[in-house]
Structures are given as C-alpha cells and as structure tokens.
Amino acid sequence: MLRLALVVLWPSFLVATVAEGFFFSLFDPHDLSISGIHPELPPIAVYTAGFFFFWAFCSLASMLTCYLVLPGPRRPPL
C-alpha cells in the first residue's frame, strides 16, 4: 500500500511543481480573484495554496491511472 501511495504521490508532486511554475509565470498572485473578490493574502500563501491545488489535482489523475491499470474481474466478451 505504501508503494502504491508513493507511485501516486511522487510523480504528481513533480508535475505539480512544473504546473505551478508555468501557471505563476503567467499570472501574478495579486491579479487573481475568486468570484470577483480579491483576497488579501501574501504571495507566498497564494503560491502554497496553488501548489497544493495542483498536487491534489495531479494526485487524482495518478490515482485514476493506477485504478484503470489494475486488473479487474474477467468478463466474457460481448
């Protein structure tokens, strides 16, 4: 189980790092707004929240990939 968690979390961590770099090289944290509301957060807090958002999204994608790769019960062909 630990191996599966590492197989999911490590690649998603690396991809989240790259995604955050690309995203925040295009958008300034001060220019971002949520439903028209500009949060008064320091940029480091926005970077941190963005990283964890990207990491969670990439982890979900990795978990879905692992789920689809695992063999399931055999069904007869249609």
More confident residue, 27 or 58: 58
State the residue range of the domain holding 52: 2-67
Burial class (CB in 10 A: 0-12, 13-18, 19+), 11: middle
Domain for residue 28, yes or no?
yes
Q: What pLDDT digit, counting tens, does each position of 49-60 carry?
A: 999 999 999 999
Domain for residue 13, yes or no?
yes
pLDDT at 15: 95
What's the predicted TM-score (pTM) here?
0.78
Domain for residue 31, yes or no?
yes
pLDDT at 76: 66
Query: What share of the chain has pLDDT > 70, as a percent?
Result: 88
Domain for residue 48, yes or no?
yes
pLDDT at 29: 84
* Mean pLDDT computed over 33-54: 84
Count how many domains the chain has: 1
